[in-house]
Structure formats: structure tokens, C-alpha cells
């Protein structure tokens, strides 16, 4: 029988009525002849609550116990979804990650899939089960411990199952009816896209558009999964939502396809460091060891001597990281200073910044996009603190209080409300 993967996010299973609504959508696909693998998130807000419970109990928690606790939200919704489907007369059962088993690495809170053996679920389909409800976000490490895939990880579970089981499509049901030119919560001018390329979605996701977890887009691209985002609240059919697909399948040709934002960023500057080979390696080595996810990096042009004992040029180094990693970053840099691994005069930390980015494959062949972006921001008096570019994106770091304005300004400047 043809197979579909249907994933329901937190708001789509937020209470028993919504679980019933989602189950109705699954039952309709079963009626149409599909076997279905349903991936569920925890009820909206549940994972955040579990994270708070862990942090209140143990500030420097054991990552294995963190995963054991935060994975539990999905277990509840998986069981409830299976029960609701059974009430509708659909043969269904739930699976926690370890029961499948979903085998992952042991990187707790950031685990990656190693293997998803099909045997157990296939055997049940062969016996007449029509729906396997699988708890998203979780897996099992080689040490036999529960792992999680990072926040938003149920998207990745869904795509991995679609790839492993050769699903016809992977449908991600959420609280918006598709992927928009920017987060529709920030501007009502955001326009729904009918299609978006894997490359562009990958950039948007990694730059903060949380509608899909980055890793899920990577997997879909690698395994050619037909990935669709659509609303769990609307009546939907095969044409609903946004399809994430190959560039060749897209007719629209705009230079910029979308604007992404990442609110909770921090900027850290090390003033007066020596400018010689090995210094950057020492700084970022110490940060990597402490598990800090460094994003943008800028090093100033150097001019003068460090001091009498350290002749040669000095420079300043600035980088960004998620704001909740600032304590870890500070600790790592101060420890490196103490152990004489690095030298700096001052550490300046700005926790009030955000990152705004424009993304588009059209940028590959079009000049002047950066100038247009910077002019638009300047016209609103928004100062740019750090810039980073790649082939299909330009990111700027700005004061957080201007984030919404910057997104709206760029959305207007590149006329994203109009179809291309
Ligand atoms: P779920 O709980 O279903 O996984 P998420 O909250 O993780 O849902 O993702 C959906 C949210 O992503 C939307 O409510 C929207 O605010 C946000 N979002 C950010 N950027 C975009 C975008 N470009 N298009 C659509 N939604 C976006
Ligand atoms: N419940 C998890 C989270 O909130 C995973 C997910 O919903 O995708 O991050
Ligand atoms: Mg999500």
C-alpha cells in the first residue's frame, strides 16, 4: 500500500480536541488507501515546561537525564493519538523511539540518526495495522539511553521516517498554512509560497525560520523526500501548503525569496588580542570545547603593537553566539586567559542583538543585492554591527529592538509581497 508520513507539531496536538482533529485528518488518508506513519510532537508548551523542571532541579544537569525527561512529552501524545484513531475505528498503535528502535548517536540533545530498522513497524503493517504513531524528537543511543534531536526535532523524525519507509510524501502539519516569505507573525504582508527550493529552505531554517528544523531539510534534500508544510486547522488536499522541492521544479524567479530572523543572539568582542598565527585557533578551540555554537566572526584590521613584551600587531575579534550560551562562552574565554592560552584586554558582551537575513538563489547571478539591503536599513536608521554573506544569503546583526522593523523594511525593499 502507498505510505504517507504525517507530522503534527505542538500546537496541532495542544489538547484533546486538537488531537481528535489531527486524528480525523489521518483517518481520511487511511480511507483514501494510504498506510500512515504519524509523527507527533509534545503538546504545545510541554517541552518548555519539562526543560524548566530539569533546569530548576539541576542547573548543571546530566544531559542523559535531561533527555530522559524532555523526551517524555511526545510519549503522551503518541499514546493519545493511537487511542483516538482506535476510537475512529482505525487500526493503530503507538511507538516510543526505543521500541522502533530509532537508533541515534550519543550526542544528547543534538543526537543524529544512525539507523531506523523497518522490521517491527513493517511486521505490524503486514498484520493489518494501518497507522503507526511514533513519538517524534527522540531516539536511543548505543549506550541504551534515551536521546533527543534538538528543539524542533520532530520535523527531522518525520523526514527520516519518510526516507526510511519510502513514503510518497512527508506532510508537516503546523499552525501556519505553509512557508511564507517571512514569519507571518512579524508582517501581515508575508506571502505564502507554493514552492521553495531545498537550498533556500535550508538557509531560512538555519538562519532562524523555525517552521522546519534545519536538519529535516538537509535530510529531505539528501534523500529526495517530497516535503510539504500545511495547516492542521484548515481543510487541506494534495494542493495545499508549500512544497519544498528541487530548484528545477520552481517557476518563480525572484532575487530574494525570503527574510529570516533570529532574535536571541549575543555579540562578544575580545579587545586587543595579538595578531599572529594560532590566536584564532586558540579562541575558537576553547569555545568549541565548551560547546559554544559560534556563528558570525569578524576580525579587525590590525595596526599597532600589543605591548612592549609582545611586539607586533594587535587586533580585535568579534563573534556571535546564541544568547543562552553567553555564560559558557565567558567562562571558557576567562579560563583560557587565566591559563595564558590567549591574551585580551577586555571582553565586551552585547546581549541585545538579533540577526536578520535575506535568502535567495537569484543572488548567485545578480549584483547589487547587498547594496540594496544596506540602503534599505540605512533609510530606517538601523545600524549594522556585523555582516556575513554566502552564495545565497546576506545576514546582518543589529540591535534587537529594530528586528521587526528590519524584517518589514527588507520585505518591502525586495517587494516580497508580490509574486515573482
Ligand atoms: P510546530 O509546533 O508545528 O512544529 P513551529 O512553531 O515549530 O510549529 O513552527 C511554526 C512557526 O514558524 C509559525 O507559527 C511561524 O510563526 C514560524 N515561522 C518562522 N518563519 C516562518 C516562515 N518563513 N513561514 C512560515 N512560518 C514561519
Ligand atoms: N517537542 C519538541 C520541541 O518542542 C520537538 C518538536 O516539537 O519538534 O522542541
Ligand atoms: Mg517545530
Confidence band of 291 (pLDDT split at 50, 70, 90): confident
Q: Using the 3D structure, point to which of 175, 202, 228 is the last residue of a domain.
A: 175
Beta bridge partners of 317: 270, 299
In angstroms, what is the span from residue 213 Cα to ligand 3's centroid?
Answer: 7
Confidence band of 306 (pLDDT split at 50, 70, 90): low
- Averaged pLDDT, 175-204: 96
Neighbours of 382 (CB within 10 A): 20
In angstroms, what is the span from residue 84 Cα to ligand 3's centroid?
Answer: 23
Which single residue is written with the C-alpha cell 579562541?
Answer: 283
Q: Which one has a higher pLDDT value, 202 or 365?
A: 202
Confidence band of 303 (pLDDT split at 50, 70, 90): low
Q: Identify the residue whose C-alpha is closest to ligand 1 atom 5.
A: 211
Closest ligand 2 atom to residue 137 Cα is 5
Q: What is the pLDDT of residue 308?
A: 72
Lowest mean pLDDT among 44-58, 191-205, 293-307, 399-413: 293-307
Same-domain check for residues 291 and 168? no
Secondary structure letter of residue 192 according to DSSP: B
- Averaged pLDDT, 291-298: 92
C-alpha cell at position 275 = 595578531
Q: Identify the residue whose C-alpha is closest to ligand 1 atom 17.
A: 211
Closest ligand 2 atom to residue 152 Cα is 8
The C-alpha atoms of residue 167 and residue 36 are separated, in whole angstroms, by: 9
Q: What is the pLDDT of residue 128?
A: 97
* Closest among 87, 112, 125 to 213, alpha carbons compared: 112
Quote the domain boundaries for residue 113.
Answer: 3-175
* Closest among 218, 77, 71 to 149, alpha carbons compared: 71
Q: What is the pLDDT of residue 313?
A: 82
The Cβ-side half-sphere exposure at 277, using a 13 Å CA radius, reads 0
* Closest among 164, 146, 172 to 73, alpha carbons compared: 146
Residue 104 domain-assigned (yes or no): yes
pLDDT in tens, 307-339: 677 666 889 999 999 999 999 999 999 999 999
pLDDT at residue 136 tops 90:
yes
Same-domain check for residues 168 and 260? no
> Could you tell me what percent of the chain has a pLDDT over 70?
98
Residue 95 domain-assigned (yes or no): yes
Which single residue is written with the C-alpha cell 508520513?
Answer: 5
Q: What is the H or E stretch that residue 399 is in?
A: strand 393-399
pLDDT in tens, 372-412: 999 999 999 999 999 999 999 999 999 999 999 999 999 99
Q: What is the pLDDT of residue 266?
A: 98
Same-domain check for residues 158 and 259? no
Q: Using the 3D structure, point to which of 160, 175, 190 is the last residue of a domain.
A: 175
pLDDT in tens, 2-24: 999 999 999 999 999 999 999 99
Burial 14-27 (b: 16+ CB within 10 A, else e): beeebbbbbbebbb
The C-alpha atoms of residue 34 and residue 28 are separated, in whole angstroms, by: 9
Report which bound ligand comes closest to the CA of 174.
Answer: 1
**DSSP characters over 318-380:** EEEEEGGGHHHHHHHHHHHHHTTS---SEEEEEEEEEEEEEE-GGGGT-SSHHHHHHHHHHHT
Domain count, the chain: 2
Q: What is the pLDDT of residue 393?
A: 96
3-state secondary structure (DSSP) of residue 258: strand
C-alpha cell at position 287 = 569555545
Mean pLDDT, the chain, rounded, equals 95
Same-domain check for residues 292 and 419? yes
Residue 267 domain-assigned (yes or no): yes
Q: What is the pLDDT of residue 238?
A: 86
pLDDT at residue 232 tops 70:
yes
Residue 193 domain-assigned (yes or no): no
- Averaged pLDDT, 235-247: 93
Residue 216 domain-assigned (yes or no): no
Same-domain check for residues 23 and 111? yes
Q: Using the 3D structure, point to which of 175, 196, 227 is the last residue of a domain.
A: 175
- Averaged pLDDT, 408-417: 97
* Closest among 326, 331, 225, 289 to 7, alpha carbons compared: 225
Q: What is the pLDDT of residue 305?
A: 67
The C-alpha atoms of residue 141 and residue 145 are separated, in whole angstroms, by: 5
Say which CATH number the domain at 159 has.
3.40.1160.10
Residue 195 domain-assigned (yes or no): no
pLDDT in tens, 82-93: 999 999 999 999
Report the chain's C-alpha Rg in angstroms: 23
Please report the sign of the dihedral spanned by the C-alpha atoms of residue 374, residue 378, residue 381, residue 384. positive
In angstroms, what is the span from residue 283 Cα to ligand 1's centroid?
Answer: 35
Q: Which residues surround ligand 3, an ion (CB under 5 A)?
A: 9, 152
Same-domain check for residues 168 and 272? no
Beta bridge partners of 132: 37, 93
The C-alpha atoms of residue 201 and residue 150 are separated, in whole angstroms, by: 18
Same-domain check for residues 280 and 390? yes
Q: What is the pLDDT of residue 295?
A: 93
Q: What is the pLDDT of residue 60?
A: 79
Confidence band of 301 (pLDDT split at 50, 70, 90): confident
Its pTM stands at: 0.93
- Averaged pLDDT, 200-219: 96
- What are the pocket residues of ligand 1 if the criterion is a CB atom closer than 6 Å to any ligand atom? 9-12, 41, 152, 174-176, 179-180, 182-185, 209-211, 258
Q: Which one has a higher pLDDT value, 307 or 50?
A: 50
Q: What is the pLDDT of residue 163?
A: 98
Report which bound ligand comes closest to the CA of 9.
Answer: 1
CB 12 within 8 A of CB 22: yes
Residue 203 domain-assigned (yes or no): no
Say which CATH number the domain at 393 has.
3.30.2130.10
Residue 406 domain-assigned (yes or no): yes
Same-domain check for residues 23 and 162? yes
Same-domain check for residues 256 and 161? no
Same-domain check for residues 121 and 39? yes
Q: What is the pLDDT of residue 419?
A: 84
In angstroms, what is the span from residue 57 Cα to ligand 3's centroid?
Answer: 26
Q: What is the pLDDT of residue 302?
A: 66
Terminal Cα distance for the chain, rounded: 39
CB 21 within 8 A of CB 173: no
Amino acid at each position: 500500500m502507498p505510505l504517507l508520513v504525517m507530522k503534527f507539531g505542538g500546537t496541532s496536538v495542544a489538547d484533546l480536541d486538537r488531537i481528535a482533529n489531527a486524528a480525523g485528518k489521518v483517518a481520511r488518508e487511511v480511507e483514501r488507501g494510504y498506510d500512515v506513519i504519524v509523527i507527533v510532537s509534545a503538546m504545545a508548551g510541554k517541552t518548555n515546561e519539562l526543560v524548566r523542571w530539569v533546569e530548576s532541579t539541576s542547573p548543571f544537569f546530566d544531559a542523559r537525564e535531561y533527555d530522559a525527561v524532555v523526551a517524555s512529552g511526545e510519549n503522551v501524545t503518541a499514546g493519545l493519538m493511537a487511542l483516538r484513531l482506535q476510537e475512529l475505528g482505525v487500526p493503530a498503535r503507538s511507538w516510543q523511539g526505543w521500541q522502533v528502535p530509532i537508533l541515534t548517536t550519543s550526542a544528547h540533545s543534538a543526537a543524529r540518526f544512525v539507523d531506523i530498522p523497518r522490521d517491527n513497524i513493517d511486521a505490524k503493517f503486514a498484520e493489518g495495522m494501518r497507522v503507526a504513531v511514533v513519538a517524534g524528537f527522540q531516539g536511543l543511543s548505543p549506550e541504551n539511553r534515551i536521546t533527543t534531536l534538538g528543539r524542533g526535532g520532530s520535523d527531522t523524525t518525520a523526514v527520516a521516517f519518510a526516507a526510511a519507509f519510502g513514503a510518497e510524501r512527508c506532510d508537516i502539519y503546523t499552525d501556519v498554512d505553509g512557508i511564507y516569505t517571512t514569519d507571518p507573525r512579524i508582517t501581515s504582508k508575508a506571502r505564502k509560497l507554493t514552492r521553495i527550493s531545498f537550498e533556500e529552505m535550508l538557509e531560512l531554517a538555519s538562519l532562524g525560520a523555525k517552521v522546519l528544523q534545519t536538519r529535516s531539510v538537509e535530510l529531505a534534500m539528501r534523500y529526495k523526500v517530497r516535503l510539504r508544510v500545511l495547516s492542521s486547522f484548515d481543510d487541506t488536499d494534495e494542493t495545499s501548503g508549500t512544497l519544498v522541492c528541487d530548484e528545477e521544479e520552481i517557476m518563480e524567479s525572484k532575487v530574494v525569496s525570503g527574510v529570516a530572523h533570529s532574535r536571541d543572539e549575543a555579540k562578544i568582542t575580545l579587545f586587543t588580542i595579538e595578531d599572529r598565527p594560532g590566536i584564532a585557533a586558540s579562541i575558537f578551540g576553547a569555545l568549541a570545547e565548551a560547546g559554544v555554537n559560534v556563528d558570525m566572526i569578524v576580525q579587525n584590521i590590525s595596526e599597532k603593537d600589543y605591548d612592549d613584551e609582545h611586539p607586533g600587531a594587535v587586533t580585535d575579534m568579534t563573534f556571535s553566539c546564541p544568547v543562552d550560551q553567553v555564560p559558557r562562552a565567558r567562562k571558557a574565554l576567562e579560563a583560557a586567559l587565566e591559563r595564558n592560552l590567549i591574551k585580551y584586554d577586555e571582553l565586551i558582551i552585547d546581549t541585545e542583538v538579533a540577526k536578520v537575513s535575506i535568502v535567495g538563489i537569484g543572488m548567485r547571478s545578480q549584483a547589487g543585492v547587498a547594496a540594496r539591503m544596506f540602503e534599505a536599513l540605512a533609510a530606517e536608521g538601523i545600524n549594522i554591527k556585523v555582516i556575513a554573506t554566502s552564495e545565497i544569503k546576506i545576514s546582518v546583526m543589529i540591535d534587537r529592538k529594530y528586528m521587526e522593523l528590519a524584517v518589514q523594511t527588507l520585505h518591502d525593499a525586495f517587494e516580497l509581497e508580490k509574486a515573482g
